[in-house]
Amino acid sequence: MSEAHPELADPPPLPAGGLRVTPLGGLGAIGRNMTVFEYDGKLLIVDCGVLFPDVEQPGVDLILPDFASILGRLADVQAIVLTHGHEDHIGAVPYLLAQQPDIPLVGSQFTLALVEAKLAERRIEPFSLTVHEGRTERLGPFTCEFFAVNHSIPDALAVAIRTPAGLVLHTGDFKMDQLPLDGRITDLAGFARLGAMGVDLLLSDSTNAEIPGFVEPEKEIGPVLDAIFAKARGRIIVASFASHVHRVQQVLDAAYEHDRKVAFIGRSMVRNMGIARDLGLLHIPGGLVVGLDEATALPPDRIVLMSTGSQGEPMSALGRMATGDHRHITIAPGDTVVLASSLVPGNETSVYRVINQLSRAGAFVVHKDVAKVHVSGHSPAGELLVLLNVVKPRNFVPVHGEWRHLRAHARLAIEAGVDQDRVIICEDGDVVDLVDGRARHVGHVKSRYVYVDGLAVGDVGESLLTERRILGDGGFIAATVVVDSVTGKVVGGPSISQKGFSEDPTVFNPVLPLIAEALDRAATDGITDPHQLQQVVRRTVGRWVNEAYRRRPMIVPTVVEV
């Protein structure tokens, strides 16, 4: 098994007739999926998504793939192929097209509709090529054939990429629900045909590689929702991903059966369900969906609110309801709240915080730990083994997953008969060349996290995040002192102000004479440089805070010369 090699240097030139594969996101974390393929000087990108921040990235809105390695070659990009419309696969497209707006986008009808709605907000009008399963498109030197896969969003696709270097299959995200609501199953027959032809490299979804067995059908959620609706006597609020059309369809069906009206809450939910309805993917009986104003005027036992916020996002509709900050909806005793989604790794604390806030307000909260209100959109180990046995790849790279998922998937591939030395575990930025039917690590390109903070992209780095974490953990102390510019003697202060450290205004009184004494000693030693005096102040305050409180706040010293 070939492991990730962080010590690898820049990759050498791609050998003639070889195919280069460079994942720039999606490895080691759930999100930020992006893979670059290179053949004969031309590039093809598969997916371009975002990662959502966790508590270790305060103030960050989104995390993008690092485009640095391809920014100078955007004219060589033949297309961005999008496997499906989830944010972790399409969310970074606007940021890349801001650099080169004429890169073609290739994807299914629903996927492109979601992307185009995002781009319209930025006044970017893309060149889009709509494809569907069974279709083949020539994109420069890349011949791409598309296959239907079942996932937790309609119109998901896998893509087979043919070049003279070999045949690569990228599954995108998939599962093998045999009874899907839309009747669209994963195309195992098509994958078997590829396997018979010979797949030189398989890149496959690893999210549920640790979970044994096979996925449960989405349709099994319907009876559970029906039972919840039958028991509820007040309002019902259902939170789900804003792109999970099949889940929303089952909520609409249950609401119709129990004579309740439905209102969509949250900007992305309203937008996405409108797109799904217009494309015929969401079937809404006449008069079932109403506006929020009309819904709030109805008796509580006649209302269903379909909301965003299933991951505990504080600014989502459900998050604001839980904290009492929503303009129109206040959680009340008797409400039933259904969290119809899984927990994205890293979001557990936020989700359970929202559950507790809702419960405190008197709501009855139903989530996946207490009822079957969610099934995964990703294949567990049993289905991954089926795919490996059908495709029989010569080389294998697990993608889309945390490290534990990638390693578990690699072990499955070896069990399924892939040669151990042809199973390659990568991290973002690793470069893998497929030459003469053999895939190997050949180098590494820079692939850092690129943080979006408000309108700023890339301005926030790890050092700034460290400062933010320190501020959040220990607070902020500003120490100011005025010194004589000639002698370095203290002539004013010192004074201290603080935020987030203590509510006692006298807490720093004991350290003030210590600062003055330390500065006097420095002046006696001939130290008059303001920067050196600032370090004296910083060390003095820091040592005292650590000894007195065992805390490490951010300390900002200011020395003013007169």
- Three-state SS for 561? strand
Instruction: Point out the least confidently predicted range of 118-122, 158-162, 188-192.
Output: 118-122
CATH code where residue 222 lies: 3.40.50.10710
- DSSP-assigned letter for residue 3: P
- Residue 36 inside a domain? The answer is yes
The whole-angstrom separation of Cα 199 and Cα 393 is 5
CA 555 to chain centre: 33
pLDDT for position 52: 81
Read out DSSP for 55-79? TTSTT--EEE---TTTGGGGGGEEE
- Residue 9 inside a domain? The answer is no
The backbone torsions φ and ψ at residue 513, rounded to the nearest 5 degrees and listed phi first, read -65, -30
The whole-angstrom separation of Cα 333 and Cα 363 is 5
How distant, in Å, are the alpha carbons of 2, 498, 536, 537, 544 from that of 550? Answer: 45, 17, 20, 18, 9
Pair 54, 76 in one domain: yes
- Residue 12 inside a domain? The answer is no
- Residue 4 inside a domain? The answer is no
Residue 552 has pLDDT above 60, yes or no: yes
* Section 436-442 average pLDDT: 95
The backbone torsions φ and ψ at residue 54, rounded to the nearest 5 degrees and listed phi first, read -115, -170
The whole-angstrom separation of Cα 236 and Cα 243 is 20
Residue 4 has pLDDT above 60, yes or no: no
The answer for residues whose C-beta is within 8 angstroms of residue 402's C-beta and 6 or more apart is: 28, 29, 30, 345
Confidence of residue 44 (pLDDT cuts 50, 70, 90): very high
pLDDT for position 318: 81
The whole-angstrom separation of Cα 557 and Cα 479 is 5
Q: What are the pLDDT digits (tens) for 502-512?
A: 778 788 888 88
Instruction: Point out the least confidently predicted range of 120-134, 256-270, 301-315, 427-441.
Output: 301-315
Residue 408 has pLDDT above 70, yes or no: yes
Q: Quick check: 342 and 171 in contact, CB under 8 A? A: no
pLDDT for position 368: 83
Q: What are the pLDDT digits (tens) for 70-114?
A: 999 999 999 999 999 999 999 999 999 999 999 999 999 999 999
- Residue 11 inside a domain? The answer is no
Which residue has better confidence, 501 or 380?
A: 380
Domain count, the chain: 3
- End-of-domain residue from the set 366, 390, 418: 366
> What type of residue sits at position 234?
G
pLDDT for position 467: 67
- Residue 237 inside a domain? The answer is yes
* Section 489-498 average pLDDT: 80
Pair 192, 82 in one domain: yes
- Residue 199 inside a domain? The answer is yes
Confidence of residue 497 (pLDDT cuts 50, 70, 90): confident
Which residue has better confidence, 480 or 103?
A: 103
The whole-angstrom separation of Cα 59 and Cα 474 is 17
Pair 354, 437 in one domain: no
- End-of-domain residue from the set 407, 426, 454: 454
Pair 359, 382 in one domain: no
pLDDT for position 345: 60
- End-of-domain residue from the set 400, 432, 454: 454
Residue 544: which domain range? 462-561
Confidence of residue 347 (pLDDT cuts 50, 70, 90): low
Per the DSSP assignment, residues forming a β-bridge with 151 are none
pTM equals 0.85
> What type of residue sits at position 90?
I
pLDDT for position 515: 86
CATH code where residue 521 lies: 3.10.20.580
Residues shown for the chain:
562
Pair 410, 280 in one domain: no
* Section 369-397 average pLDDT: 94
Read out DSSP for 474-488? H-EEEEEEEE-TTT-
Per residue, what are the HEC states of 371-412? CCCCCCCCCEHHHHHHHHHHHCCCCEEEECECHHHHHHHHHH
Confidence of residue 315 (pLDDT cuts 50, 70, 90): low
The backbone torsions φ and ψ at residue 298, rounded to the nearest 5 degrees and listed phi first, read -80, 160
pLDDT for position 507: 84
Looking at the chain, the whole-number percentage of residues with pLDDT higher than 90 is 61
Q: What is the mean pLDDT of the chain?
A: 90
Residue 310 has pLDDT above 70, yes or no: no
> What type of residue sits at position 520?
D
Confidence of residue 559 (pLDDT cuts 50, 70, 90): confident
The whole-angstrom separation of Cα 170 and Cα 541 is 56
Confidence of residue 154 (pLDDT cuts 50, 70, 90): very high
CA-atom Rg of the chain in angstroms: 28
Pair 29, 155 in one domain: yes
Q: Quick check: 338 and 358 in contact, CB under 8 A? A: no
Residue 390 has pLDDT above 90, yes or no: yes
- Locate tokens 């670059």: which residue? 36
Residue 338 has pLDDT above 60, yes or no: yes
pLDDT for position 476: 80
Residue 530 has pLDDT above 70, yes or no: yes
Per the DSSP assignment, residues forming a β-bridge with 201 are 168
Q: Quick check: 282 and 245 in contact, CB under 8 A? A: yes
Pair 176, 277 in one domain: no
Residue 329 has pLDDT above 70, yes or no: yes
